[in-house]
Amino acid sequence: MQGQLPISMKNLIEEVKTTFSGDQKAQELFENCFSNTYETTIRPQEDGTTFVITGDIPAMWLRDSAAQVRPYLMLAEHDGQMADLIEGVIQKQFSFINHDPYANAFNEEANGNRYHDDNTEMTPLLWERKYEIDSLCYPVQLGFLFWKSTGRTSHFNETFRNAVDLIIETFKTEQNHAEDSTYHFERDNCPPQDTLSHNGKGAPVSYTGMTWSGFRPSDDACKYGYLIPANMFAVVSLKQLAEVAEEVLEDISLVKAASDLAEEIHQGIQKHGKVEHPEYGTIYAYETDGFGNYNLMDDANVPSLLSLPYLGYCDVDDPIYQNTRNFILSEENPYYFQGKVAKGIGSPHTPEHYIWHIALAIQGMTAASTDEKDEIFELFKKTDAATNFMHEGFHVDEPEKFTRPWFSWANSMFSEFLLSKCNRYVKGSPLEKQ
């Protein structure tokens, strides 16, 4: 949205700049990053909904759009216009889920634009149809936090109710992916991580109680179909849905459906998602298939294993989380890179030795020590390539080499990290309580 920034945004920017009055770089980074989503990606629609592009791609991702506007919930507590804008995002997200719960990214209108002509069930509204568990979790989380931040319940309407029924139905269907699911996805002339094997159905899995995902939050294909951090996010968002169903909707059947499914997935994680590591002890795997195969790694994109306390699956001091954290912040994690300037978690989605600002923000917000938080803060200030914006990935030796100069999600995550250093958190978010 071009034009003047809202007064509430200006005031919070000034508050943060005052907190960091002796640090011009921190001031410039926050002012640029915090306003970026509002100024460049938000597109109000005539029907009152809000379309949010991801940055340098003209489509709206369910995941990215929720993360992009999440820090603005702090403004929506007292700014009715900002609250209206975010409520519009929520309505747009749930209308998209009602259109197709398997799609991850959508067009502003049904214009037939798409990333690629994939072999899957496309419609003119879909930009891409990679099925990712987190695409269904993020809108539930945003709707829940919006309620906690503003007290509003108007977004828990028929569109919401239809969508959450679809979410539960989809998660349950994908508990038995091979037998019950019709979802398939194949892309030709592409890297292996952009398509699903076995005629578009993905590698075989055995029943675990967890729910299957075709793709990771990076949009890369899962190696094994049970993506542990995404299942953990599903547990949290289903519990949030149950709370909404009980306290707002007074719908006992929805409370039971969401709670029962959350417990099934949680038990599946606890039974099938842990591995005994010779150095780090009991840790969570990134992926498994129910046949005893495990993928031990972490990815920069959220949900990640690093982000579990941020999501609300466990506390920062949880022993298995700490073991897992020690593993994924070591070179035992194939996507942990350490160089002359920086160290942190990258992704198979970007080149080797590139780490992500999103992962640094999560590491900082979930760090138990002030020293680690301060170290991350200093890394941010010297890895923006003098742009005063965050990027997707950057090279650990040469931060001036980076991917995606306009990536709103990364800017929002940095903003949320810096706000946490000011003890400012989104109301109802897990880290507020820890």
Rounded Cα gap, residues 228 and 234, in angstroms: 10
- 322, part of any domain: yes
Q: List Cα–Cα distances, 316 to 321, 323, 371, 432, in angstroms.
A: 7, 11, 16, 12
User: What is the total count of domains within the chain?
Assistant: 1
- 242, part of any domain: yes
- 2, part of any domain: no
Residue linked to tokens 């003119």: 124
Residue-wise pLDDT for 366-376, tens only, equals 999 999 999 99
Kindly give, in sequence order, each residue whose CB lies less than 8 Å from that of residue 310, ignoring residues fewer than 6 positions away. Answer: 302, 362, 365, 366, 430, 431
What's the whole-model pTM score? 0.98
Cα 140–chain centre separation: 12
Residue 219 pLDDT exceeds 70: yes
- 1, part of any domain: no
What CATH number does residue 108 fall under? Answer: 1.50.10.10
The band of 254, judged by pLDDT with boundaries at 50, 70 and 90, is very high
Residue-wise pLDDT for 349-388, tens only, equals 999 999 999 999 999 999 999 999 999 999 999 999 999 9
The band of 434, judged by pLDDT with boundaries at 50, 70 and 90, is confident
pLDDT score, position 2: 62
Residue-wise pLDDT for 101-148, tens only, equals 999 999 999 999 999 999 999 999 999 999 999 999 999 999 999 999
What DSSP element (H or E) covers 281? strand 281-284
- 213, part of any domain: yes
- 365, part of any domain: yes
- 308, part of any domain: yes
Q: Containing domain of residue 293, as a range?
A: 7-433
- 361, part of any domain: yes
What DSSP element (H or E) covers 432? helix 430-433
Residue-wise pLDDT for 68-85, tens only, equals 999 999 999 999 999 999
